[in-house]
Chain A
């Protein structure tokens, strides 16, 4: 009886170890896969490489598609080097919290269509960089 219990315990330990080893291998493969995907898509680039002008990485500045709902207008003004009032004037923003308000919150509180607003925001930024 005791021997059977010990044997069962051993078998459970071995099964546990095998699962752990498989998890390790799986997560390692995931890590390598993520690295490859990010590297190939050009998302994983150091600023040093950009400054050095690596041929495959020339177009990687702050990507306009990377604008997200958690970003504040203040942050967008800084990363795209926009004048403080440019977005305020373009979108007629009267909210007193501007520029310290999240895009997501702003569209929600003013009942705006988020997708449309984001699209217009991207256009406004592109237009500004063209004007410059």
Chain B
């Protein structure tokens, strides 16, 4: 959290909506910046009167949508060509497990796209996989927009309602994220074979 405060929040305070736009856009399109945590802080600033909440929502939603779409189209048009230059990535893209994941997402993209909006790494990965797997654009766009609205509103409501306690809330979110990912890792390692079988059955 301290790293975040030192690195990004001063820019949000200095350059306001421009900084918010750039940071959110980068988080959606290329860099794993924890945009959710920053959104909680920005919404808290809005509750303190530093930002206008309507403009904040508008800027963040637009930046997210543009960033997501840019990554989708870049990976759709140039992704395979570019990534296949790196032998270890190429090996992974040609692996059985990756193909299984790609085919499953291609078959049922809606829920995956929607839920992935809530976490920055999953957002970037799913945008990339959807582009590489050439998921139907209309479906991607619709569920990307719905997911973005839900995600932005979720973090904004938390930040706005906790206002001055935003640093405490962010600390809790950080701790909870660690628990969540460790649990996911545990479940995957316990039921890996079942997951693979289930994915195979779905195709």
A residues neighboring B (CB under 8 Å) = 16-17, 20-21, 23-24, 27-28, 30-31, 34-35, 38, 43-48, 50, 60-63, 66, 68, 70-72, 74-75, 78-79, 100, 102
The smallest C-beta distance from B9 to any residue of chain A, in angstroms, reads 6
B residues neighboring A (CB under 8 Å) = 5-6, 9-10, 13-14, 45, 47-50, 160-165, 167-169, 171-172, 175-176, 178-179, 182-183, 185-186, 189-190
Query: Which chain B residues border A35 with CB–CB below 8 Å?
Result: 172
B164 x A102 contact (CB < 8 A) = no
A75 x B13 contact (CB < 8 A) = yes
Partner of B14, one of A23, A44, A62, A72: A72
- Assuming A63-B164, A75-B13, A75-B45, is B186 touching A24 (CB within 8 A)? yes
B50 x A78 contact (CB < 8 A) = yes
B161 x A28 contact (CB < 8 A) = no
**A12, B5: Cα distance in complex, Å:** 40
Query: Which chain A residues border B13 with CB–CB below 8 Å?
Result: 70-72, 74-75, 102
The smallest C-beta distance from A80 to any residue of chain B, in angstroms, reads 10
B171 x A68 contact (CB < 8 A) = no
